[in-house]
Amino acid sequence: MYFWKRLRLVFGIAFFWFFLLAPLNAMSQVFYVSPDGSENTCSTSNPCSLQTALNLSSSNGQEDTIYLMAGTYVTGSNPFTYSDDNHSENFPLSIEAQPGLSNEQVVLDGESSTQVLYVLNSWYDHDAADFTLKSITIRNGRTSSQGGGLYVWVNGDIKITDCIFDGNTGASGGGIYLVTSNHRAYVFSCDFRNNTASDGEGGGILASALGPAGELFVQENLFTDNTSKSNGGGASLIADGTLFVERNHFTNNKSTSQSGGALFVAPQTTCKTFLLNANTFFHNSSHYYGAGTYCMENALQNCKVIICNNIWAENTGINGANIGGGGLYYSATQSAQTHIINNTFANNYGTWGEELYLAIMNSDTSVTVSNNIFWKNGEYYSIYIWSPDNNGKSGSAYGYYNDYAHVIRQYDSTIFRYDTAAWDGSDGNLYVNPAFVDASNKNYRLSDTSPCIDSGTISESTVSMIMEPLRDADGKKRVIQCVVDMGAYEHGDYWHIGDYNDDGDIDGEDLATFAKSIYVTTLTDKFAVEYGHHYPPSCPH
């Protein structure tokens, strides 16, 4: 009896403190602002100005949400500014359009005279200082420093969703200059257009996720008509831990003096995972390398690098500049194991490697190129491979089951030219017209008569297994009856909603597979599920 009394007392005290402290831990404040707001209460009936809300939220010691009512907010002589100068705000800040409003109804405008929005909370111990920006247009920002539209440097997570960045100019990061450390940055479903990095990188965005736990996700965005003087006309992305770039569309971006007309990416030495998946790169240009994409891989061997399901088409050098890698330039300076698989390259221009340039700088580097289409009308060299020397100090590049014309491989001054059937003893390669549905209108799916249908492989090679993704660029099932197509798109429509285990039937086993998938909680597990060695049970391997 005494034991149960003591137990009830302990639980009673625990519940008392729980209910007493819960409101303190959940304390938050909501501000409502309008373009002509002048009150200090910041309520729906008495809204304040945006800068008033930012000032109050930077010193109240609470989690804050600022809702912007419809209209245009003009910066004046200074940017809208949030800064934790007193080292007291280890709390999340969210700036959002009022619920029910679209990103075109809420506009922050720098009138081409000032930076638009400046957010700084980078104290090393402020790991809960998250920042969210949602459903807002930021336009006409201008600064001689970083981040013409948005400058954000916080030590917590960053989430920028459903925003428009239009006509902003900064030295680097014309639309956005973003930094976080050992946290996650997430840029999703935004529209970057007509932004300029006047003296540096990242016309649309320059984003860095620093530290071995840093994670950067850039997904489902539009990058159009952005310009940089240095690398990354559309975007420049750097991550020390994890970097996912998926389902973005890059069109008419350019780097006027350097490389990566659309995209510059740099996985670093502590990289865990780098994924470039299901992006499109059309009509981008650069002065040097990678008119479409420049990837500088500084990752060590434990980094998983997968480049899959992308389309590079009609990217070229500015004013006919001599460039390497009209579509993709990939520089492997460390020892990551890289798979370039099921991509489509079409009608790109590069002096060295019309479609793909591989610079293999480390003896432990292995690059596997498989199931890709490299196509351009006329005589040309699809792929250029450069290695430092021919004395065992350079890494390896292997080609399996690709549709391409010719390969040039250079060790120092010694140049080897490979025909279709003889790329380092590789096999399954073709040199045929892939018969796209309508390349002139950017439809690079395979027509019914394409020789690339069922011409890929999922088998184990002599070097490494093919890292075959589960889905193609359209989201359709990739492996169908134990075969795959070449290129970014699988032919036909075999994707049945509900067939979670990809066996062609919808049954109880699909429910079990789905139930298991919802418990995938870590990025490593997610990557292993979606991008790995996938063989349906009936397929030989």
**pLDDT digit string, tens, across residues 310-344:** 999 999 988 766 678 999 999 877 766 788 999 99
Quickly state the pLDDT bin for 7 (edges 50, 70, 90): very low
Question: Under 8 Å CB-to-CB from 166, ≥6 apart: which residues?
Answer: 137, 138, 139, 140, 191, 193, 194, 195
Question: So what's the pLDDT on residue 380?
Answer: 67
Structure letter (DSSP) for residue 212: T
Give the position of tokens 């390896």. 396
- Could you tell me the residue ranges of all domains in the chain? 170-440
Does residue 155 surpass a pLDDT of 70?
Answer: yes
CA gap 404, 261 in Å, rounded: 23
Q: What is the pLDDT of residues 459-470, one digit of tens each?
A: 644 334 455 677
Question: DSSP code of 19?
Answer: H
d(CA 327, CA 307) in angstroms, rounded, equals 13
CA neighbor of 312 nearest in space, from 360, 382, 416, 244: 382
Here the tokens at position 129 are 């200082």
* Contact in structure between 243 and 210 (CB atoms under 8 Å): no
Pick 128 or 419 by higher pLDDT: 128
CA gap 370, 365 in Å, rounded:
16
Listed residue (145, 151, 153, 144) closest to 175, CA to CA: 151
In three-state form (DSSP H/G/I as H, E/B as E, the rest C), the secondary structure along 430-467 is ECCCCCEEEHHHCEEEECCCCCCCCCCCCCECCCCECC
Residue 427: how many CA atoms within 13 Å on its side-chain side? 6
Nearest-angstrom CA–CA distance, 341 and 308: 5
Res. 9: pLDDT tops 60: no
Cβ-contact 482, 536 below 8 angstroms: yes
Of 425 and 506, which is predicted with more confidence? 506
Asked whether the predicted pLDDT for residue 230 surpasses 80, the reply is yes
Q: Which of 72-76, 157-161, 303-307, 391-395 shows the lowest per-residue confidence on average (mean pLDDT)?
A: 391-395
Average pLDDT over residues 212-227: 96
**Residue with the two structure tokens 């399901």:** 309
- Tell whether the model's pLDDT for residue 393 goes beyond 60: no
Structure-derived torsion over alpha carbons of residues 317, 405, 380, 351, reported in degrees to the nearest 10: 40
Mean pLDDT, all residues of the chain: 83
> Phi and psi (nearest 5°) for 55?
-65, -45
**In the prediction, which pLDDT does 360 show?**
82
**CA neighbours closer than 13 Å in the CB half-sphere of residue 496:** 12
pLDDT for residue 378: 57
Could you tell me which residues come within 8 angstroms of residue 384 by beta carbon, excluding any fewer than 6 positions away? 324, 325, 350, 352, 353, 356, 357, 358, 407, 408, 409, 410
Quick: pLDDT tens for 237-293.
999 899 999 999 999 999 999 999 999 998 877 788 899 999 999 999 999 899 999
Q: Under a CB-based contact definition with an 8 Å cutoff, are residues 213 and 235 in contact? A: no
At 6, give phi and psi (nearest 5°): -65, -40
Cβ-in-10-Å burial (0-12, 13-18, 19+) of 169 comes to buried
Secondary structure (DSSP) of 373-425: EEE-SSS--SEEEEES-SSS-S-EEEEES-B-S-EEEEETTEEEEE-TT-STT
* Closest CA relative to residue 354, chosen from 329, 390, 388, 334: 329
Q: 526 in helix, strand or coil?
A: helix
Q: Which amino acid is at 375?
A: W
Which stretch of 107-121, 336-350, 457-471 has the lowest confidence by average pLDDT?
457-471
- With 60 as the cut, is the pLDDT of residue 37 above it? yes
Band of the pLDDT at 435, cuts 50, 70, 90? very high
142 or 376, greater pLDDT: 142
Residue 460: count other Cβ atoms within 10 Å of its Cβ. Answer: 13
Tokens of 514: 């789905």
Q: Tell me the one-letter amino acid at 331.
A: S
The pairing of beta strand 263-267 with beta strand 293-297: parallel
- Split at pLDDT 50, 70, 90, the class of 496 is low
Residue 510 clears pLDDT 90, i.e. is over it: no
Mean pLDDT computed over 363-370:
80
* Non-local CB neighbours of 52 within 8 Å, separated by 6+ positions: 33, 37, 40, 42
pLDDT value, residue 416: 58
Top mean pLDDT of 2-6, 383-387, 512-516 is at 383-387
